[in-house]
Homo-oligomer: A and B are copies of this chain.
Amino acid sequence: MKARVHITLKNGVLDPQGKAIQHALGSLGFDGVDDVRQGKYIELDLSTTDKAAAEANVEEMCKKLLANMVIENYSIEIE
């Protein structure tokens, strides 16, 4: 199965990258961009076919490695 994980910064945590992208878009003449936030997107190919197990497993991976729980949130989709 495939797991898709989104890792984003928690609210209120400064996002220097997002800020810089927003600024760069402005200089390239793109108007009306009020905010930009950058996160990570991770795709995992899992050998299991048990959706619940996959979900629990990926949850563990996020907590242990993929996300930095001090400043980041994660969300998981399994398919």
Contacts and interface: CB of A to CB of B under 8 A. Distances in A.
B21 A42 contact: yes
B39 A45 contact: no
A20 B25 CA distance: 31
Interface size class of A (residues with CB under 8 A): 20 to 34
A39 B40 contact: yes
B36 A42 contact: yes
A34 B46 contact: yes
A4 B47 CA distance: 28
Contacts of A34: 45-47
Interface of A: 6-8, 18, 21, 24-25, 28, 30, 32-48, 57, 60-61, 64-66
